[in-house]
Amino acid sequence: MTGDAPTTGPEHTQTPRPRSVRPLAAVLTAMAVSLTGTRVSAVALPWFVLVTTGSATRTGLVAFCEMAPYVAAKALAGPLVDRIGPRPVSWTTDLASAAAAAAVPLLHVLGLLSFPLLLALVAVVGAARGPADSAKEVMVPDAAERGGVPLERATGLSGVTERLASTLGPAVGGGLVALLGPVAGLAVNAACFALGSLVVALALPPAMGRAYEDHRPEGAAESGGEQPGQPGEPGEPGYWRRFGEGLAFLRGEPLLLTVIVMLGVTNLLDMAFSSVLLPVWAKESGHGPTAIGLTGTVMGASAVAGSLVAAAAAHRLRRRIVFFGGFLLAGAPRFLVLAADAPMGAVLAVFAVAGFGAGFLNPVLAAVLFERVPRPLLGRVNALGDALSWAGIPLGGLLAGAAVASAGLVPVLVAGGAAYFAVTCLAGLRPEWREMDRTRGRGAAAATQPDAARRAADLGAP
């Protein structure tokens, strides 16, 4: 059974739903808006800290204070996403991010923004953004099913959306910072969070992404009666039981665990690169914030092309080859070209190739996840997996800032590129990766609620 087909069985008969691509379009739009704001902030915030404090260490500390709450909140929000539903989690947390993000430029203009207060505000943004990002991801398979769109195509479109945001965001951020200063970029970030919240709240159906909705007995929607699995039922599993079920399922998936460990290291290195190493390179080389925006735009544009190819042809390609080929192009070369003090044309060429390779990564990862994880467990497993794979990100900027302060930029860039190459090559030798090419068509994401509960129980869930 594939994840694209309705689930039927002797226990439940799913009520057919009219197909519409509007939910998928709305989810992708909300992703695009909020991610664009985040990418603008990725240029504006480090530059704001660098020009106001002159410290690479403080720049890394700001990145740590945003990403540590992001990772923790994302891990803990999974059971709430499954219980309450991803739609209300998404729009309320995006609204909270908008308020905290707007306070940074406002307080700076008023002369009231101290460095400790800045750390507290970016921590609130990170804590709210984690559940919001996870909730949007969880809505993708339901939106694809409602529109009759194949899962890999939907995840490919999600990848294209992310890459478009990574193209537009740095361009807007670099231009705003160069012309109007970093405060303008921070204000745009707040506006994007607010707009994303409105899109989710107004354009998506209330039951969007709710696992129990996909498995109601026929006629339940019309009766208005409470069905098993709905929030508020006396037998509804509690928060920690849901959390334990997600953890138990993940513990029994060697492929997903291997992916998470590898991504934990590469994400740490990517965060070190984007939050500290690239801004410091731009400042020391004299290229300025425009270079940060330009490199991000070039990489994002070529990543869009890679994601489009993945959306059109990923289901016909061997996933392992695509996955590790993408990492080979996207990882170490970016570090090494900056360390070599290459001319700007060569830097942009390397970033373009890196972006094309990166465009294939998330569609492959998302398709594997959605195929292997039963739909009722998707929120908590996705949140836990993301949080664990992002666990190194808070340390990335912190470690990079300290390393640059003590050893200088070039040695840190060389060490980062070597580490990136080594970890992706060594991970590829693990036998679990063979499962990546075997999951296609498995359809685990379409499992029924009882199937998911039995599987979690078999894996030792409390």
125-168 tens-digit pLDDT? 999 988 888 888 888 888 888 877 777 677 777 777 877 787 77
Domains in the chain with CATH codes: 22-206+238-458 (1.20.1250.20)
Comparing C-alpha atoms, which of 363, 352, 359 is closest to residue 296?
Answer: 352
SS (H, E, C) 129-178: HHHHHHHHHHHHHHHHHHHCCCHHHHHHHHHHHHHHHHHHHHHHHHHHHH
Residue 386 has φ and ψ, to the nearest 5°, of: -60, -45
pLDDT at 459 over 50: no
pTM for the predicted model, two decimal places: 0.62
- Write out pLDDT tens, residues 12-29: 444 455 677 788 888 889
Contact between 105 and 151 under an 8 Å Cβ cutoff? The reply is no
CA distances from 112 to 87, 103, 177, 404, 448 (A): 35, 10, 21, 30, 53
Question: Is residue 447 pLDDT above 70, yes or no?
Answer: no
Q: At what angle do helices 361-372 and 254-272 cross, to 10 degrees?
A: 150
Unique residue bearing structure tokens 């996705």: 382
pLDDT at position 227 is 40
The pLDDT confidence band at residue 365, using thresholds 50, 70 and 90, is: confident
Choose between 376 and 361: higher pLDDT.
Answer: 361
Contacts of 220 (CB under 8 A, 6+ apart): 15, 227
Which pLDDT does position 231 carry in this prediction?
44
Going by pLDDT thresholds of 50, 70 and 90, the confidence category of residue 222 is: very low
Question: 317: pLDDT confidence band, cut at 50, 70 and 90?
Answer: low
The larger pLDDT score, comparing residue 383 to residue 249, is at 249
Nearest partner of 367 among 51, 83, 90, 140, judged by Cα = 140
Q: Yes or no: say if 265 and 419 are a contact pair by the CB < 8 Å rule.
A: yes
Closest C-alpha among 134, 129, 128, 120 to residue 65: 120
Q: How far apart are CA 157 and CA 453, in angstroms?
A: 30
Question: Average pLDDT, whole number, for the chain?
Answer: 77
With both helix axes pointing from N to C terminus, report the angle between 361-372 and 289-313 in degrees, rounded to the nearest 10.
50
What number is the average pLDDT over the span 74-87? Answer: 79
pLDDT of residue 379: 67
